[in-house]
């Protein structure tokens, strides 16, 4: 991916990062991104290589590999939809009165009890943990 493909408010990942960063400023040769705790980073191109550093500290740059855009999980009632992949996770009440998580036959690492959750809030909490761990969607 090239820097000119990024736009303000895009969410990105690179290297082995697991938490998406938010693009705050774009330019021809550099992009400023903000981390989840507010730290700002600069991604820039130099000698045909993408580099990343803390804003204002180019001296301590490292290579920016596997730069990619990620979507966002959006919740509407009991359904989470991934904006980039279109995958859905639903919380539904089963015939026994328990709450279950439906991922439409996609293999996930969700911890779903055999009969379901006794309370909807437990199912919601499990989905929230999964969504936080999987910003790129279900793999």
C-alpha 124/C-alpha 10 separation (Å) is 26
Length of the chain: 139
Per-residue pLDDT of the chain (139 residues; tens, 9 = 90+): 788 888 898 899 988 888 899 999 988 888 999 988 888 999 998 888 899 998 888 888 899 999 999 988 999 999 999 988 888 999 999 998 999 999 876 777 787 888 899 999 999 999 999 988 888 887 6
Question: What is residue 58's DSSP assignment?
Answer: G
**DSSP β-ladder status, 49-54 and 40-46:** antiparallel
Q: Where are the alpha helices (DSSP H) in the chain?
A: 120-133
Q: Cβ distance 9 to 16 under 8 Å?
A: no
Among 105, 101, 95, residue whose Cα is nearest residue 117: 101
CA distances, 118 to each of 30, 48, 79, 80 (Å): 50, 55, 18, 20
Tell whether pTM > 0.85. Answer: no
Q: Cβ distance 135 to 20 under 8 Å?
A: yes
């Amino acid at each position: 991916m090239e820097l000119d493909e990024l736009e303000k408010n895009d969410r990105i990942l690179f290297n082995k990062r697991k938490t998406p960063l938010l693009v705050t400023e774009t330019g021809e040769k550099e992009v400023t991104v903000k981390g989840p705790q507010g730290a700002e980073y600069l991604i820039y191109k130099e000698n045909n290589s993408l580099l990343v550093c803390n804003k204002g500290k180019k001296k301590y740059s490292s290579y920016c590999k596997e730069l990619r855009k990620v979507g966002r999980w959006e919740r509407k009632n009991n359904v989470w939809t991934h904006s980039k992949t279109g995958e859905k996770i639903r919380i539904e009440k089963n015939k026994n009165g328990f709450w279950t998580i439906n991922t439409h036959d996609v293999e996930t690492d969700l911890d779903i009890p055999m009969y379901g959750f006794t309370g909807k809030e437990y199912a919601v909490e499990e989905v929230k943990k999964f969504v936080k761990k999987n910003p790129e969607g279900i793999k």
